[in-house]
Structure 1
């Protein structure tokens, strides 16, 4: 589907008779598809009045609101490029995005205006003004940039992934239709905010493409707030990351949570692997299937996922159409696959040792680095040709940085991020393997494992070291000293000695990025001093 994305979405609403259907529920207000597209047209007129033209960039730092959607649609309508960033970020982080993106204008809340004085600044309220005229959608060439979203910055400075006007149609086909089977009667609710990839699809583009509705919730997420939103708006689909599912289902009132979310038919999880034990708990409390999946800022949304018709606990899921993946080891390509392929033929090719281009290949079931290719893979990292070349090959394959294997049924299994690997006793260790064992204890809500920087001989060069576990415990878990001893014992039963954590540190919550990923570097900081029982001081 080509053309200006704002025009494509408005045309769909007209063609399928959705203009009067609810699109966004925000507090006590409900906005129809038609009202939202009209707001986008007005916003385009206001943005044009401050000099925004095709190809210019507009930085948007607004909470989930009609103003956010209007700013996005207005920018797209002008053929300009929306740069999406979280309004909750620090002044330093906003300054970085401002300098990196070099926008022609900024749209933000009143409290953020002083941060962006170097360019014309509008507030969300300004976009509701009646402009002198409503500009027609600007025709855009195939492959034109539409919006930029920044990576979480866990491996360096955040990078702006540039996406096209056509990209949301691709990941809508994959996740909304292929994995969830979304229909006009669905109401989606995402605890991940719309300025970030997961929330942008779930909250904005999925309902606009399928004629459904979603919840616009401007507040910072809390369990109590999420329950109140669910009671009011009765969502059928929930989107968030494992840490928020853990908070929802591990509180003191699981019955209240289940009653509030009784309207759900499915829950989708991404951001980090979902521990099987947490998945079981989610389904028990929410009363619906939870679908683990894998996506990235560079792809725009989810490209591997369990689906409402095909799922397997402990696996990330299957490759979603229209994407294809490759699993590459040192000897070549271990697996190449796409939805609907002949699995027997793929298995035979792997057994024969053949991969792409005739390279030597590992067999199905052997792990390697994950690559993905598809129509929504980013154009580039904004202004970073070297980093783009490192991640994105000339053949369109994106290196994700994940270590996986694919089983004979086509399910993708995650072994962790390649950069998270550590060396202990001279051997490479994947923290996710240890985390999955510790996560089997009923007293564990969340867990992260890293190399213990305080251990003698720690570090790759020394080949020694040890592991340290950081745990968020359930409210009804045993006392800290007892739980720490039980976790060490559990690891010792299931794992070789060098994979058994030397220490267990208990935390109220794990440090995370704005997109929900654990900040492992923060866990290793010296200021995390420990008591004798392993708990934080």
Structure 2
């Protein structure tokens, strides 16, 4: 069907520092114009047409099939009213429909709005309204969402695309908006971050190719999903730019599912978050590593790896675990360990092409060895939030992004992540880093996960409280006594938790980040 409405606006150009302006896809193979057309031409030029690009269930889709399907999906989207510059909301689980819809939107010069399909209805409604989406492409179970907008089901898209004529690629350049991703919203209303047609190639050139050395032979499994910045680069960008393949899973895989998928597809690159790596280690005894024999490297992001966990995961996988840090605003990692330089306990060095400065609260640079807030400048840092000029001005200054991450620069140029600036706790007028307390408590063998926060008591005074996910069966009173004694022995008195609460899980976002604002409430 075709929606009846006024024509959409033309493409909006947002200049991005550090990304060269291309001449055309045909005469400059190093600089993309329309991303979908560029990737299709790249696959043909490199002879990747018959190579697997994505594995879903027991079906493999080749690079040739993917780009053909994307071009035909573009025609379906156009027949549903999508025009250049329009925004198309994708509320889809990882799968070939997600890939086809994204490539189809890119081919039309439209802007894909990537959202988590498992969000509550109110958040979906907010994002659709905020993005002014002209079409919502949704997965199963969302048929009743977006009632006031044109909607296309994933199954409909895949049914219509094979017989549709391929859409022509709309002419755009590297600075034209390509997609919008919303910040995870751990503490407030999510903000739409705009990225351009030139950004994905930069992610691959600087990280996929240079730091991870991805080749055609690699097979990727990313626990983080395509609608997150981390997963988008891992499982969509890197495979299509390198001629390699990725395993797509519609739900977050359990440790047992990870074992099976890695063994079945001979996965070489595993991407995950600390909480999932912790579950992978906890799910087995020592020595059960044969299913990971194909893995040559793993990557961790989303939060800092707890002390000791990286070494345990490396022992399990028989491969390095490369920690990195990025943001939705940067598009992917801006600081990362690599196969050439890997140091556990740090988030590595700045990604080539990026600059990192540590500043104090007043914006002044801090000396080496001192803690400060990370400010980042680089080729894929967004030029702004969607419809949020005041937020843009507050977060971006002179091309520098205020990440609100705290870090310390090590003598070798690596950065040690010290948590979020807004994660600091105030106890009795003294600022306390919860990460320091959590690291001490996590050293106890009966602690699987822990979060520490200043929680108001009955009188309204803030008291430091530890929320612990125990390892196995415990005697709560005895373990609480041991943990408080452990903290008292290793930390200053004001950093020692006054109480310990045992919980079955900690509140996290869908991307695995801890929701500290919920922990501070003392219940969730």
For 2:145, the equivalent position in structure 1 comes to: 115
1:455–1:466 Cα contact (<8 Å) kept: no
Q: What residue number does 2:64 align with? A: 34
- Judged with a 3 Å threshold, the aligned counterparts in structure 2 of structure 1 residues 108 and 457 are, in CA distance, closer, same or farther, namely closer
Could you report, residue by residue, the CA deviation over 1:79-136 in whole angstroms, capped at 9, with x for unpaired residues?
A: 0000011111111121111111111111112421221222221112222324553221
Contact 2:74/2:108 (CA < 8 Å) preserved in 1?
A: yes
CA–CA distance in 1 between the matches of 2:424 and 2:315? Answer: 33
Distance in 2 (CA, whole Å) between partners of 1:132 and 1:426 is: 65
Shift of 1:313: 1.9
* Equivalent residue runs for 1:497-508 within 5 Å: 497-508=493-504
Please state if 1:468 is matched with 2:471: no
Q: How many residues align?
A: 492
Tell which deviates more after alignment, 9-18 or 27-36. 9-18
Q: Does 1:281 align with 2:277?
A: no
C-alpha deviation, 1:333, in angstroms: 4.1
Aligned to 2:330: 299
Q: Aligned residue for 2:203? A: 171
Cα distance in 2, alignment partners of residues 447 and 132 from structure 1: 52
* Cα deviation, residue 317, structure 1: 1.0
Query: Does 2:517 match 1:521?
Result: yes
User: In the TM superposition, what is the alpha-carbon distance from 1:277 to its structure 2 partner?
Assistant: 1.4
Secondary structure, in 3 states, of the residue corresponding to 2:143? helix
Structure 1 residue 373: Cα displacement:
0.8
Indicate the RMSD between aligned Cα atoms, in angstroms.
1.7
Match of 2:46 among 3, 16, 24: 16
1:424 counterpart = 2:454: no
What's the counterpart of residue 237 of structure 2? 205
Q: Corresponding residue for 1:402?
A: 405
2:121 counterpart residue number: 91
Q: Match of 2:268?
A: 236
The answer for the alignment partner of 1:450 in structure 2 is 453
Separation in 1, partners of 2:325, 2:233: 14
Aligned to 2:490: 494
C-alpha deviation, 1:524, in angstroms: 3.0
Q: Contact 1:171–1:303 at 8 Å: present in 2 too?
A: no
Unaligned residue ranges in structure 1 (runs of 5+)? 335-361, 459-464, 529-537
Alpha-carbon distance in structure 1 between the residues aligned to 2:68 and 2:81? 21
1:160 and 2:164 correspond: no
Per-residue CA deviations over 1:376-406 (Å, capped at 9, x if unaligned) read 111211111111111111x210000111111
Decide whether the 8 Å contact of 1:64 with 1:193 is kept in 2.
yes
Which residue matches 2:96?
Answer: 66
Which residues in structure 2 correspond to 1:82-481 (within 5 Å)?
82-128=112-158, 129=160, 130=162, 133-253=165-285, 255-256=287-288, 258-330=289-361, 332-334=363-365, 362-393=366-397, 395-454=398-457, 456=459, 458=461, 465-475=462-472, 479-481=475-477
CA distance in 1, matches of 2:481, 2:343: 31
- Alignment deviations for residues 34-89 of structure 1 (CA, whole Å, 9 cap, x no partner): 10000100100000111111000000111111110000000000000000111111
Indicate the SS of the match to 1:398.
Answer: strand
Distance 1:254 1:114, change over 3 A: farther
Aligned to 2:9: none
SS at the partner of 1:112? coil
Q: Deviations over 1:432-458 (max 9, x none)?
A: 121222222233222211112227553
Which residue of 37, 56, 76 maps to 1:7? 37
Secondary structure (helix, strand or coil) at the match of 1:114 reads coil
> For 1:254 and 1:223, how far apart are their aligned partners in 2?
15
Structure 2: tracts of 5 or more residues without a match:
1-30
Residues of 2 paired with 1:513 and 1:294: CA distance? 17
State the secondary structure of the residue aligned to 2:145: helix
- Rounded to whole Å, the distance in 2 between the matches of 1:174 and 1:467 is 42
Kindly indicate whether the alpha-carbon contact (under 8 Å) linking 1:188 and 1:214 is maintained by their aligned counterparts in 2: yes
Identify if the C-alpha distance between structure 1 residues 473 and 175 changes in structure 2 by more than 3 Å, giving closer, same or farther.
Answer: farther
Q: 1:452 and 1:402 mapped to 2: Cα distance? A: 22
Distance 2:517 2:96 in 1: 36
In 2, the alpha carbon distance for the partners of 1:12 and 1:213 equals 15
Distance in 1 separating the partners of 2:375 and 2:321:
25
Is contact 2:88-2:135 (8 Å) kept?
yes
State the alpha-carbon separation in 2 of the partners of residues 25 and 507 from structure 1.
Answer: 37
> What per-residue deviation string (whole Å, max 9, x for no partner) do you get for residues 154-191 of structure 1?
13101111111111122222322233221111111011
Check 1:442–1:287 CA distance in 2 against 1; reply closer, same or farther (3 A cut).
farther
